[in-house]
């Protein structure tokens, strides 16, 4: 059993020392990832087998980029450690190469081992989708707590889970918290579910206890500070011979995992006081991003990064990137497409170009603009497609109701899907009914769908006070769900999607476009079970339109999706006040004058972490006007409102960071 240490006064699993420990520290663009690649090459040269090496990255996209680097260096890679069972005991099947994946992916794989080894249920608890978490929150309201305080409690519980401190009673402050936490854990246990923040924590507990058989010799971790504490502990517990971590102390924003744990680097050094440390302070990329990065670092109160010493030319002469301000968003998007087209004509490969988009609408519009020019492109999928919004609005939630129908058709025993299915269309998500049904499930040791079946056929005595009218509505929903399962039986592909939609929305109803987008890239002949597994995987790891982004496609996504990537050409679109920085920065109620400097410095660091990814070319585009209604909907910072051709038009400005990075003389209008 692993030793424990106190974090913020609460005992938790400690970071374990490793016989050989290395720490690589440096700012963006200083070559940390490349040093990890060279470390893998060094291990291979020493005779280490590929299957004995695991590389963990902060995001799946970063893992894909790291894998490409290793493959370019002639090293075979795979996405899974190949954990499995041998003779009824935990074992490790041979992997095809160096395993490169995100920490979250590895945690899920470890949990599949733990659950199937008798350390959990036979059916591994499923991670909740965002709209299913909304239903969970509705059920927690039965505790009687004010929604605002309840939300604060839930956020605290989640953070405690990522710090592996939720298994000690001292982390709870009062009886109210104890009651809500008991309801939360009881709900998850009853329905066979996990929330995302539990995954790495449970994987760490597994490794600290009975999971030593699945440890590997050598572990490397990129962007260590962007992982949760649970993922950091998991990485250290996984390594038996050596661990090498790379960290950028300035990049602390959430990019994939909730609650990145910056203090983990100090804990790592405390556990490994003899660790070899490498400080990288030379910027490896081009002149334009170097000048922009240093300008942003000055805004954040950080020291400059030195230019690469062996680069030719006089880098002391400012080579500012340019910001081009267009008349309106349509003209700006057309200009962005022109930038990409020109870059391709000059020899850039499509996969070396990344466009930072400020909003989902820009994703779509830029995608269409590039497609019209015949340019292969991929836009980042947004996890918000799984968000419910208002549980009462069945019209708004059509795609989620069809999704719930698919989850049931693919696994009729999915109690989480049954719970959500019975919540749609009800003002209170039927929480009062399910509190009573939960008593039956716990007392009788029954699953939710078995309780619903027993209630339907009056085979069970209802608890006193069960609201019979609401129960009738729930049982009607249960019957309808059973009919959906039957209607989908044996169907595949498009026929399955249409059958599910017809069962939920009525005959001849079109398949909701959001649901079609969720299924995009799935096997054309997929049955309900296969399609269910595909959609759940996409929920856990939002990819790119059309599946994973292959080589040969321009990528369009957020700044956060840049993590781990190093495009030759980086274009920031929609770079205006309101998008970046957010409108709240300019509102003295949201950002009081005394906090403006700190918020500005934080925004500068966040932007710096993205700008420094560019290897060579770096460009910014903005627009100066758009209809007032659109500006309000997008929450932009409006300078003034003018009447243009009888249309109320909002005038907006390029981001306040343009003058910092580009110099006012480089703002073209």
∠ Cα 539 543 546 (to 5°) = 110
pLDDT band at residue 646 using 50, 70 and 90 as cut-offs: confident
**Contact predicate 636/577, CB 8 Å:** yes
User: Which carries the bigger pLDDT value, residue 458 or residue 407?
Assistant: 407
pTM as predicted: 0.91
Cα gap 359→338, rounded to integer Å: 20
4-123+200-280 carries CATH number 3.40.50.300:
yes
| Whether the predicted pLDDT of 94 surpasses 70 | no
pLDDT in the model for residue 469: 74
Distance from C-alpha of 376 to C-alpha of 367, rounded to nearest angstrom? 9
Superfamily of domain 287-379+550-668 in the CATH hierarchy: P-loop containing nucleotide triphosphate hydrolases (3.40.50.300)
The average pLDDT across 53-78 equals 95
56: pLDDT strictly greater than 80: yes
Topology agreement, domain 4-123+200-280 and domain 287-379+550-668: yes
Whether the per-residue pLDDT at 382 is higher than 90: the answer is no
| pLDDT given at position 91 | 39
Query: What's the pLDDT at 635?
Result: 94
Per-residue model confidence (pLDDT) at position 390: 66
Q: Give dist(CA 283, CA 303) in Å, integer.
A: 13
Question: Per the omega criterion (within 30 degrees of 0), is the bond before 581 cis?
Answer: yes
At 304, the pLDDT band (50, 70, 90 cuts) reads: confident
Distance CA(499)–CA(487), nearest Å, equals: 7
**In the chain, where are the structural domains located?**
4-123+200-280, 126-196, 287-379+550-668, 386-540
- Nearest-CA neighbor of 120 among 17, 202, 22, 230? 202
Q: In which element (H, E) is residue 10 found?
A: strand 10-13
User: How would residue 118 be classed by pLDDT, with cut points 50, 70 and 90?
Assistant: very low
Instruction: Using alpha carbons, select from 559, 556, 575, 557 the residue that is nearest to residue 667.
Output: 575
Specify the residue for token string 């990288």. 280
């Amino acid at each position: 059993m692993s030793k424990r240490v106190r974090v913020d006064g609460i005992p938790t699993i400690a970071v374990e020392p490793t016989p050989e420990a290395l720490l690589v520290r440096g700012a963006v663009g200083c070559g940390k990832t490349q040093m990890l690649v060279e470390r893998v090459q060094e291990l291979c040269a020493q005779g280490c087998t590929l299957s004995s090496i695991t590389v963990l990255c902060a995001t799946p996209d970063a893992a894909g980029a790291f894998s490409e680097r290793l493959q370019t260096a002639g090293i075979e890679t795979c996405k899974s450690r190949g954990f499995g069972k041998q003779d009824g005991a935990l074992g490790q099947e041979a992997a095809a190469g160096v395993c490169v994946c995100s920490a979250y992916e590895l945690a899920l794989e470890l949990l599949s081992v733990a659950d199937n080894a008798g350390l959990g249920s036979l059916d591994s608890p499923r991670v909740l989708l965002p709209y299913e978490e909304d239903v969970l929150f509705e059920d927690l309201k039965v505790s009687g707590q004010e929604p605002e305080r309840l939300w604060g409690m839930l956020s605290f519980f989640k953070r405690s889970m990522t710090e592996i401190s939720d298994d000690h009673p001292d982390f709870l402050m009062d009886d109210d918290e104890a009651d809500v936490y008991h309801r939360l854990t009881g709900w998850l246990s009853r329905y066979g579910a996990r929330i995302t923040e539990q995954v790495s924590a449970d994987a760490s507990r597994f490794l600290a206890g009975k999971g030593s058989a699945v440890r590997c010799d050598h572990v490397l971790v990129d962007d260590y500070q962007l992982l949760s504490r649970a993922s950091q502990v998991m990485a250290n517990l996984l390594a038996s011979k050596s661990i090498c971590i790379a960290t950028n102390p300035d990049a602390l924003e959430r990019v994939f995992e909730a609650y990145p744990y910056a203090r983990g680097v100090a804990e790592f050094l405390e556990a490994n006081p003899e660790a070899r440390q490498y400080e990288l302070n030379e910027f490896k990329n081009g002149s334009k991003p170097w000048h922009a990065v240093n300008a942003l670092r000055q805004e954040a109160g950080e020291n400059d990064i030195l230019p690469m010493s062996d680069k030719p030319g006089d880098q002391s002469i400012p080579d500012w990137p340019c910001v081009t301000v267009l008349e309106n968003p349509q003209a700006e998007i057309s200009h962005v497409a022109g930038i990409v087209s020109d870059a391709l004509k000059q020899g850039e490969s499509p996969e070396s170009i990344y466009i930072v988009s400020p909003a989902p609408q820009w994703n779509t519009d830029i995608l269409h603009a590039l497609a019209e020019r015949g340019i292969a492109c991929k836009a980042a999928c947004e996890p918000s497609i799984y968000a419910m919004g208002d549980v009462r609005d069945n019209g708004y939630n059509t795609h989620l109701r069809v999704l719930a129908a698919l989850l049931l058709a693919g696994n009729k025993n999915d109690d989480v899907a049954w719970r959500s299915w019975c919540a749609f269309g009800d003002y209170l998500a039927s929480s009062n009914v399910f509190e009573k049904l939960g008593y039956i499930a716990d007392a009788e040791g029954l699953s939710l769908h078995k309780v619903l079946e027993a209630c339907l056929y009056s085979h069970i005595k209802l608890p006193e006070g069960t609201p019979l009218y609401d129960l009738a509505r729930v049982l009607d929903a249960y019957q309808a769900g059973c009919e959906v399962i039957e209607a989908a039986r044996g169907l595949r592909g498009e026929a399955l999607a249409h059958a599910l939609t017809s069962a939920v929305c009525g005959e001849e109803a079109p398949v909701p476009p959001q649901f079609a987008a969720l299924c995009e890239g799935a096997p054309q002949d997929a049955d309900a079970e296969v399609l269910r597994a595909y959609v759940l995987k996409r929920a856990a790891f939002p990819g790119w339109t059309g599946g994973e982004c292959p080589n040969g496609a321009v990528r369009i996504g957020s700044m956060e999706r840049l993590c781990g990537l190093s495009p030759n050409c980086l274009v920031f679109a929609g770079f205006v006040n309101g998008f970046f920085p957010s409108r709240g920065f300019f509102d003295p109620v949201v950002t009081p004058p005394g906090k403006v400097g700190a918020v500005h410095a934080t925004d500068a660091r966040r932007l710096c972490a993205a700008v420094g990814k560019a290897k060579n070319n770096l460009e910014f585009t903005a627009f100066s006007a758009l209809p007032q209604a659109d500006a309000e909907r997008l929450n932009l910072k409006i300078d003034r409102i003018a009447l243009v051709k009888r249309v109320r038009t909002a005038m907006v400005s390029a981001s306040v960071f343009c003058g910092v990075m580009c110099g006012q003389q480089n703002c073209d209008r």
